[in-house]
A and B are shown apart, each in its own frame.
Chain A
Amino acid sequence: MYTIDLAIKAIVYASGIGIGAAAITLIYSATRTFNFAHASMVTWGFYMVFTFTTLFGGLPEYYLIFAGLFSSLLGVLIYYGVNIWLLKRGASEVTLMMSTLGVDLIIFGFLNVYIDFLAGYVRGLGLAGVNPKYFILETKDLIVPYLGTRLSGLVAPVILVLGVVLLHLFLTRTKIGIAMRASIENPPLATISGINIYTVYLLAWIIGGFLAGLSGGILSLISTGYNTVGMTLIVTFFAGSIVGGLYSVFGSLLGGLLIGLGEYIGIYLLSMYVGGWVTVYRPVIPLAIMVATLLIQPMGLAAIDWSKLLKRVGLIKR
């Protein structure tokens, strides 16, 4: 039973990381901005789900959409407040990265002000056992009848698949989606053909923000929420994004899934075969996978020529 629950938690975790990694990649490939503010956007996702669940009751899954919408709003604010001016100036990648770091500190500050406020409010309501500084939503999750698993174990993969399908349809079937791909591939050429690249950038921040908040919401279903949870997790998101190849949204979804599963299941297997002492080094696993990827295959999963690889291994005939 414990093993099944662990596997389900691993799936939820991996879905969350995959969606978050896709958010980083989408914003990076569209605007060249490596988004450090992702950390606080994810944490806001945690807190939106927590706030609604605490105040209105019900399952935490109901409120995932609000987590996405709020971070989406943050994305729009970041874009119009900072990002667009730097993009117009043609700032370097490192400058763009630093600007989002500044934004992250600002959002983090406001998040903590909000947490303090929420703590006071919750205290006023007299809710026992609810602590906004350190909360666990896992216990509020529904155990699905007949299956005996937690609901999040079903919801998270469904959201992931739905996200992939919708994103794919959006990028290949809609006009704006195709325009988006074009301006990611070649911004000057896209401008010449009459695409307003600033609309595309805005769209990247909206969708990217939504995915960031959503991933925070999904992760809140299985892990503890606290104010620096995003900062702790952000390297894992980066790892997923880089393993996926930083230029392919679907690659980084896959990369994030891989990293998440590798971290959760890898540490379980290691602790079984190597010893319990190894569990504390869990954060090292995604980072190690990422560093290995960067040094061996810097362009990530998306750049691997799969048919060639399979041919070499001998799985398909030449």
Chain B
Amino acid sequence: MIILMNILLNFGIGLIVTLSLNLEVGYMNLPQFGRMLAVLVGATVAGGVAGRVIAALLGFPFGVEFAGADNYRIVNDINMILEKNPILSILYLILTLILAAALGGIMGYLTAYPAIRLREAYLGITLLAFADILQNIIWFYDPIAGGTQGINVVDPFRFFGPKRFEASVYVIVAVALLVFIYIEFLTRSPYGRVLKAIRDAETAAAVYGKNIVQMRAFTMIIGGAIAAIAGALWALYTGSFKAITYTRLLWTFWPWAYMMLGGTGNNLGVLVGVLIFSMFRTYITIYKHEISSYLMISAEWLEYILVGLVIVLIVLIRPQGLIPEKPTHIIPRREIEKIISSQEQGSSEKR
């Protein structure tokens, strides 16, 4: 049961991040190597902004002191209040997610500035650099979220009591599925088709009057907002926040691997890819000691080697991923068949 819960946890968080990545990479062909940025913003919002809001509402100090030495005491007191007040807890949870999405969206919009001007490798490295700069600042500048000391995150799941872990996992998976449905609708809408058109033939899309700059900015806002939700959920689940734990590897490169395994530009493929990887990673973590004693090497390094191998093999053997992207039908298949058959009848009558 605990294994299943761990898989679900990794799956939920991974799915949200990877879907947001897929929206930008798969549907718009934008080399988003700075996914960590928006995730970090989301987590920082959960620790440093939403926590302050609830502290202010409940009459606790919310200035610099909130992120200072008294942080543990303040957050503990707030947690005690939230524990007895489910409605407030749920409101706080929703507020955190909304705030995270808003700031993540703003960050996405800001990073769209270079995205309009640069291409391919240049853009990828610039986005990666932005993420690193932000991480460095949050890590060393104490007033935002405690700096190197980290910050405790106010816990909205506390009122579930002993069922806290299960409840938080269910909430995360529910949010992930909502995001999946939202992105699925979004990418099937005319907007999604425009994105694909820009991806496949930018000049042609521009000729047909599509505003490419606006589309890019809009996609990066949505992508950033969704990734920030994942970051906020992760910070709420772990109950503490330290900027240094949000690494490029975990929040940028691993989602890239999930996406490539499943199928770039295909949300269902992403779901499958994330599921496979989260099972794989959870099992490796659980059977760490057994693996180490059999293979004489630490399971942690084995995980790196295997994930790297998966990336290389996918790129070499099956670049389209496990479930390749399918063309979207604007009208249902049955309708198309009807039209074709009526045309065939018409042409045979003429003869």
Is A109's CB under 8 angstroms from B308's CB? yes
Residues of A close to B304: CB separation below 8 A: 105-106, 108-109, 112
A288: Cβ under 8 A from any B Cβ: yes
Residues of B close to A91: CB separation below 8 A: 315, 319
User: In the bound complex, what is the Cα–Cα distance between A103 and B301 (angstroms)?
Assistant: 14
A290: Cβ under 8 A from any B Cβ: yes
B91: Cβ under 8 A from any A Cβ: no
Is A284's CB under 8 angstroms from B316's CB? no
- B-facing mask of A283-305, CB < 8 A → 1, else 0? 11001101100110010000000
Is B305's CB under 8 angstroms from A110's CB? yes
A99: Cβ under 8 A from any B Cβ: yes
Q: A94-B31, A109-B302, A284-B137 are in contact. Are A295 and B312 (CB under 8 A)?
A: no
Q: A101-B256, A298-B117, A298-B122 are in contact. Are A86 and B315 (CB under 8 A)?
A: yes
A204 to chain B, nearest CB (A): 16
Is A85's CB under 8 angstroms from B140's CB? no
Interface size class of B (residues with CB under 8 A): 35 or more
A66 to chain B, nearest CB (A): 23
User: In the bound complex, what is the Cα–Cα distance between A81 and B308 (angstroms)?
Assistant: 13
Is A287's CB under 8 angstroms from B121's CB? no
Is A280's CB under 8 angstroms from B124's CB? no
Interface centre among B117, B133, B248, B308 (most CB of A within 10 A): B308
A235: Cβ under 8 A from any B Cβ: yes
- A-facing mask of B13-43, CB < 8 A → 1, else 0? 0000000000001000101000000000000
A133 to chain B, nearest CB (A): 12
Interface centre among A34, A82, A107, A109 (most CB of B within 10 A): A109
B260 to chain A, nearest CB (A): 7
- A-facing mask of B115-127, CB < 8 A → 1, else 0? 0011011101110
User: In the bound complex, what is the Cα–Cα distance between A107 and B300 (angstroms)?
Assistant: 13
Task: Tell me which residues from 263 to 281 in chain A have a Cβ below 8 Å from any Cβ of chain B.
Answer: 280-281
Candidates A98, A99, A113, A238; contact of B129 at CB < 8 Å: A238
Task: Tell me which residues from 195 to 234 in chain A have a Cβ below 8 Å from any Cβ of chain B.
Answer: 231
Is B124's CB under 8 angstroms from A94's CB? yes
Is A93's CB under 8 angstroms from B312's CB? no
Is A105's CB under 8 angstroms from B125's CB? no
Candidates B137, B308, B310; contact of A281 at CB < 8 Å: B137
Task: Tell me which residues from 101 to 132 in chain A have a Cβ below 8 Å from any Cβ of chain B.
Answer: 101-110, 112-113, 116
Q: A112-B301, A284-B136, A294-B118 are in contact. Are A97 and B126 (CB under 8 A)?
A: no
Is B129's CB under 8 angstroms from A102's CB? no
B319 to chain A, nearest CB (A): 7
Is B260's CB under 8 angstroms from A291's CB? no
Q: A102-B310, A112-B298 are in contact. Are A294 and B122 (CB under 8 A)?
A: yes
A174: Cβ under 8 A from any B Cβ: no
Interface size class of A (residues with CB under 8 A): 35 or more
User: In the bound complex, what is the Cα–Cα distance between A28 and B124 (angstroms)?
Assistant: 14
Q: A104-B308, A112-B301, A287-B132 are in contact. Are A34 and B121 (CB under 8 A)?
A: yes
B293 to chain A, nearest CB (A): 14
Residues of B close to A92: CB separation below 8 A: 120
A160: Cβ under 8 A from any B Cβ: no
Residues of B close to A107: CB separation below 8 A: 308
Is A109's CB under 8 angstroms from B305's CB? yes
A242: Cβ under 8 A from any B Cβ: yes
B170: Cβ under 8 A from any A Cβ: no
Candidates A86, A106, A239; contact of B316 at CB < 8 Å: A86
Residues of B close to A281: CB separation below 8 A: 136-137, 140
Residues of B close to A112: CB separation below 8 A: 298, 300-301, 304
Is A235's CB under 8 angstroms from B256's CB? no
Residues of A close to B118: CB separation below 8 A: 294, 298
A67 to chain B, nearest CB (A): 21
User: In the bound complex, what is the Cα–Cα distance between A109 and B298 (angstroms)?
Assistant: 10
User: In the bound complex, what is the Cα–Cα distance between A94 and B315 (angstroms)?
Assistant: 11
B297: Cβ under 8 A from any A Cβ: yes
B179: Cβ under 8 A from any A Cβ: no
Candidates A94, A105, A113, A239; contact of B297 at CB < 8 Å: A113
Residues of B close to A95: CB separation below 8 A: 315, 319
Residues of A close to B133: CB separation below 8 A: 284, 287-288, 291
A selection of 25 A-B contacts at a CB cut-off of 8 Å is A91-B315, A94-B124, A97-B121, A97-B124, A98-B311, A99-B315, A102-B309, A102-B315, A104-B308, A106-B305, A106-B308, A109-B303, A110-B305, A112-B298, A231-B249, A235-B125, A235-B128, A280-B140, A281-B140, A283-B136, A287-B132, A294-B122, A294-B126, A295-B117, A298-B122
Which residues from chain B sit less than 8 Å from chain A, CB to CB?
A: 25, 29, 31, 114, 117-118, 120-122, 124-126, 128-130, 132-133, 136-137, 140, 248-249, 253, 256-257, 260, 297-298, 300-305, 307-312, 315-316, 319
The 4 tightest CB contacts between A and B, nearest first, are: A102-B311, A105-B308, A109-B305, A109-B304
Which residues from chain A sit less than 8 Å from chain B, CB to CB?
A: 28, 34, 81-82, 85-86, 91-95, 97-99, 101-110, 112-113, 116, 231, 235, 238-239, 242, 246, 280-281, 283-284, 287-288, 290-291, 294-295, 298
